[in-house]
Amino acid sequence: DAGVIQSPRHEVTEMGQEVTLRCKPISGHNSLFWYRQTMMRGLELLIYFNNNVPIDDSGMPEDRFSAKMPNASFSTLKIQPSEPRDSAVYFCASSLAGESKNIQYFGAGTRLSVL
């Protein structure tokens, strides 16, 4: 299996622009997680899906952030409009919910810089 695939790996954009991050989970996994990692705040869970349905979006910072999972093999995280404080590394992870372990498999991340 190719693992969790995220794109792009790096994104540089200007303040006010729309940013879309993409994630392909491991085939067969039914839970998907979006995280943000910064030096100041560490690793934060933004939102997670189970069977393509958003379960907990309490970590989404504000209305500028939105996430979708139209099918089991694809998810997007959108920031509109972007701000410099959104600069961070964004990770997607997937797991097989229902088994008792809930081990998560992470993608390589998208490093976002908002100028």
Interface ranges with another protein (CB under 8 A)? 4, 31, 33, 42-43, 45, 48, 50, 55-56, 91, 93, 95, 97, 100-109
Token digits of residue 96: 């097989």
Residue at token pair 């997607």: 92
Is the Cβ of residue 70 or residue 101 nearer to another protein in the bound state? 101
Partner residues linked to 70 by β-bridges? none
DSSP annotation of 28 reads T
Judged by beta carbon, residue 57 or residue 81, the one nearer another protein is: 57
Task: Tally Cβ neighbours within 10 Å of residue 106.
Answer: 15
Distance in Å, CB of 113 to another protein, minimum = 14
In the complex, least distance from residue 79 CB atom to another protein, rounded to whole angstroms: 20
Nearest-approach distance from CB 10 to another protein, in angstroms:
11
Report how far residue 57's alpha carbon sits from residue 77's, in angstroms, rounded to the nearest whole number.
12
Q: Which is nearer to another protein, 72 or 97 (CB)?
A: 97
